[in-house]
């Protein structure tokens, strides 16, 4: 994707981490991501893909190395687990984001405003994942962490969701975790393949 690549939104330098010191997931790992770019992390289960997101988010501390990031938001693999079942979508978005330019973003996501007044269980997986993207975009991140955002969806809806995400590259850079190498090849400026 050739879009407004100027500002670095994520820089990982010489990252070293493992759950035990004798089996490292990362050793002197480096990564740079700029606004307007998609970088995909691919690899089999256990290779450390989700762990990298936890390190970037500050939920885990590296043994060594340096992570510098701009403001970020996160889209999770299972949209149903990322929303509380008892509250409307709008209530949960208002908890974390300021509602600005709502109609424009709803239009870009092909999302009906009425969905915001529903509870998560009243929506399909694809509709709810678009609500996840809406929430993430309204948080005004410079960096979007997308953790297998299409793996729970069928192929047609998956492509639709990724096209929507890529449509927001004027606003942020995307770090994508995916097991789908074809998807990564289609949308990425760079692919990092982790081996377990």
pLDDT along the chain (196 residues), means of 10: 66 94 90 96 86 94 95 90 93 90 87 94 89 93 92 76 89 92 90 82
Q: Note the pLDDT of residue 2.
A: 45
HSE, CB side, 13 Å, CA atoms: give it for residue 20.
2
Distance of alpha carbon 63 from its chain centroid, rounded?
Answer: 24
Q: Note the pLDDT of residue 5.
A: 44
Q: Note the pLDDT of residue 46.
A: 79
Q: Is the pTM of this model over 0.85?
A: yes
Q: Which two tokens stand for residue 108?
A: 């870009």
3-state secondary structure the chain: CCCCCCCEEEEEEEEEECCECCECCEEEEEEEEECCCEEEEEECCCCCHHHHHHHHHCCCCCCEEEEEECCEEEECCCHHHHCCCCCCHHHHHHCCCCCCCHHHHHHHCCCCHHHHHCCHHHCCHHHHHHHHHHHHHHCCCCEEEEECCCCCCCHHHHHHHHHHHHCCCCCCEEEEECCCHHHHHHHCCEEEEECC
Sheet order of strands, 72-75 included: 72-75, 143-147, 173-177, 38-43, 190-194
Domains of the chain, start order: 8-194 (3.40.50.300)
Q: Note the pLDDT of residue 6.
A: 55
Q: Note the pLDDT of residue 96.
A: 92
């Amino acid at each position: 994707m050739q879009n407004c690549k100027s500002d670095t939104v994520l820089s990982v330098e010489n990252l070293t981490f493992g759950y035990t010191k004798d089996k490292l997931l990362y050793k002197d790992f480096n990564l740079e991501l700029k606004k307007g770019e998609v970088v995909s992390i691919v690899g089999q289960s256990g290779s450390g893909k989700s762990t990298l997101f936890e390190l970037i988010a500050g939920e885990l501390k590296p043994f060594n190395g340096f992570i510098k990031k701009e403001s970020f938001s996160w889209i999770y693999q299972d949209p149903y687990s990322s929303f509380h079942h008892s509250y409307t979508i709008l209530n949960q978005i208002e908890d974390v984001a300021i509602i600005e330019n709502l109609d424009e973003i709803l239009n870009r996501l092909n999302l009906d405003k009425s969905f915001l007044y529903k509870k998560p269980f009243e929506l399909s997986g694809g509709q709810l994942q678009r609500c996840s993207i809406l929430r993430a975009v309204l948080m005004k991140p410079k960096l979007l962490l997308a953790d297998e955002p299409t793996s729970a969806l069928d192929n047609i809806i998956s492509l639709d969701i990724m096209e929507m995400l890529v449509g927001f590259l004027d606003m942020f850079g995307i770090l994508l975790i995916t097991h789908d190498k074809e998807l990564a090849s289609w949308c990425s400026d760079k692919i990092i393949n982790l081996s377990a």
